C-alpha cells in the first residue's frame, strides 16, 4: 500500500519519504481494517517525527483519521464493512493514519458524523478526546450543563484542543463565561466564532487582563501550552477550590505545586489521550465519547474546527502540514484528504 514513512528522527527532509509497497497491516480480532480517506496533523505528529516519542525507528505517523471499513475483526461488534468511521489511534503502534489502510481497535472508533466530510471528521478525534477526558473524567466536571456559573479559561484558544474545549465548555459543561487566550485578530475571531465570550491576551499580565474584562477569578483553567511557564500566572488568578488541567508540562521541575495544593486547595490534572489504548484502560470509553461528539455535530450543536485543507497522500502535503503546525501560526486543525 502507499504510505508516507518516517525513519529515525529529525526534520521533514531527513525523515519522511513516500513508499508505494508498504505491507498492509494484519487485522486483529478487535480491529477494523480502515481505508483511510483523510487524516489530520497534530503537534504530537511533529514531536514524534522530530524526537521519536514512540521509539519505533521506522513508523507511519498520523493519529487522527477517517475512512471506510474494509474488514472487521472476529470480536468486533457494532461495525460493518462499508461503515464510515473516525478514530484517534495509538502512539505505541508503528502504523498510523498517513497511509492507505490502517488496522485500528474498533473500541476507539466511532461512526463518522453523517453531516461532515471525511476531512472535516478527521479533524475531531484526538482533540475532542483530549478535551473531554481532561474536563469530564480527570477534573470531574459535570456534563449536564449545570456549570453555568463557573468561569472557564482556555489558554491557546485557537489551537486544535482549544477549539474543541471552548465548545465543550459552552455546550456540555454549560459555562456562560468562557475566556480564551489569543493575541492576533484572526485567532480572536476564531475563538469568538466557537463560543468564547471573552478574549484574554496571553502576552499580557493575566491579573490585569481579568480586571480589564471585569472578571474576578477563574474556576477552571485548561492550559493548552507548556504548564511550566504558565503555572505561577495561572495560580494567581484561580479561585480557591478551582481546577487546573494540563496537556503538556514542559519542565516539571519548575512547577511548585505547594502554591496550589496547600493554600488554595486547587485540583491539578494531566491528560494524555493515548493513555487508554496504551494501557488497555477501558478503551471502549473513547469510542463512546467520539460517538457522542458525532451526535453533537449531526444535531448542529458543535462547529467545524478544520481550518487548513491539503490534498494528497504524499510527502509534500505532510511537509506543508508539519511546517505550519510547527510555526505556531496554525488556527484550528490541519487536514489532508487522500
Backbone angles phi, psi at 33, to 5 degrees: -90, 115
- The C-alpha atoms of residue 105 and residue 99 are separated, in whole angstroms, by 16
Nearest to 297 by CA among 111, 133, 152, 29: 111
CB 244 within 8 A of CB 255: no
Beta-carbon contacts of 189 under 8 Å, excluding residues fewer than 6 positions away, are: none
Collapsed DSSP state (helix, strand, coil) of residue 330 = coil
Q: Is residue 8 part of a domain?
A: yes
DSSP 227: G
Q: Please report the pLDDT score of residue 81 as a whole number.
A: 99
Mean pLDDT by 10 residues, the chain (338 residues): 98 97 96 99 97 94 98 98 98 96 98 99 99 99 98 98 99 99 97 99 97 98 97 97 97 88 91 97 98 99 98 98 96 99
Q: Please report the pLDDT score of residue 287 as a whole number.
A: 99
Do 148 and 239 belong to one domain? yes
Torsion region of 214: left, alpha or beta (phi above 0 gives left; psi -120 to 50 gives alpha): left
Last residue of a domain, one of 212, 238, 270: 270
Q: Please report the pLDDT score of residue 258 as a whole number.
A: 85
The structural domain count of the chain equals 2
Do 137 and 92 belong to one domain? no
Do 157 and 141 belong to one domain? yes
DSSP assignment string, 116-144: S-HHHHHTSHHHHHHHHIIIIIIS---SS
CATH, residue 161 = 3.40.50.720
Domain span holding position 293: 3-123+283-337
Question: Does the global pTM surpass 0.95?
Answer: yes
C-alpha cell belonging to residue 51: 524526537
CB 333 within 8 A of CB 35: no
Do 208 and 138 belong to one domain? yes
Q: Please report the pLDDT score of residue 261 as a whole number.
A: 77
Do 157 and 240 belong to one domain? yes
Do 19 and 104 belong to one domain? yes
C-alpha cell belonging to residue 220: 477552571
How far, rounded to the nearest angstrom, does the alpha carbon of residue 191 sit from its chain's CA centroid? 16
Amino acid at each position: 500500500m502507499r504510505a508516507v514513512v518516517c525513519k529515525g528522527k529529525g526534520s521533514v527532509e531527513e525523515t519522511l519519504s513516500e513508499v508505494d509497497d508498504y505491507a498492509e497491516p494484519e487485522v486483529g480480532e478487535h480491529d477494523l481494517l480502515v481505508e483511510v480517506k483523510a487524516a489530520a496533523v497534530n503537534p504530537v505528529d511533529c514531536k514524534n517525527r522530530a524526537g521519536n516519542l514512540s521509539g519505533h525507528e521506522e513508523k507511519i505517523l498520523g493519529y487522527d483519521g477517517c475512512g471506510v471499513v474494509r474488514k472487521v475483526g472476529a470480536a468486533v461488534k457494532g461495525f460493518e464493512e462499508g461503515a464510515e468511521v473516525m478514530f484517534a489511534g495509538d502512539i505505541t503502534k508503528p502504523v498510523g493514519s498517513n497511509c492507505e489502510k490502517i488496522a485500528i481497535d474498533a473500541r476507539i472508533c466511532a461512526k463518522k458524523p453523517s453531516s461532515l466530510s471525511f476531512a472535516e471528521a478527521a479533524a475531531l478525534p484526538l482533540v475532542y478526546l483530549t478535551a473531554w477526558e481532561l474536563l469530564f473524567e480527570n477534573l470531574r466536571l459535570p456534563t449536564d450543563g449545570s456549570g453555568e456559573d463557573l468561569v472557564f479559561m482556555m489558554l491557546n484558544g485557537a489551537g486544535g484542543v482549544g477549539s474543541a474545549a471552548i465548545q465543550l465548555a459552552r455546550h456540555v459543561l454549560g459555562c456562560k463565561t468562557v475566556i480564551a487566550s489569543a493575541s492576533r485578530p484572526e485567532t480572536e475571531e476564531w475563538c469568538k466564532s466557537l463560543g468564547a465570550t471573552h478574549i484574554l491576551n496571553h502576552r499580557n499580565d493575566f491579573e490585569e487582563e481579568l480586571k480589564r474584562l471585569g472578571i474576578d477569578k477563574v474556576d477552571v483553567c485548561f492550559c493548552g501550552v507548556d504548564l511550566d511557564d504558565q503555572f505561577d500566572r495561572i495560580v494567581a488568578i484561580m479561585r480557591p477550590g478551582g481546577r487546573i488541567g494540563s496537556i503538556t508540562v514542559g519542565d516539571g521541575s519548575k512547577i511548585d505545586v505547594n502554591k496550589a495544593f496547600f493554600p488554595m486547595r486547587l485540583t491539578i490534572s494531566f491528560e494524555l489521550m493515548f493513555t487508554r489504548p496504551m494501557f488497555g484502560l477501558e478503551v471502549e470509553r473513547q469510542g463512546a465519547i467520539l460517538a457522542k461528539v458525532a451526535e453533537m455535530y449531526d444535531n448542529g450543536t458543535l462547529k467545524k474546527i478544520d481550518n487548513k485543507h491539503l490534498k494528497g497522500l504524499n510527502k509534500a502535503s505532510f511537509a506543508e502540514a508539519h511546517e505550519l503546525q510547527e510555526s505556531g501560526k496554525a488556527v484550528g486543525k490541519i487536514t489532508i484528504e487522500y
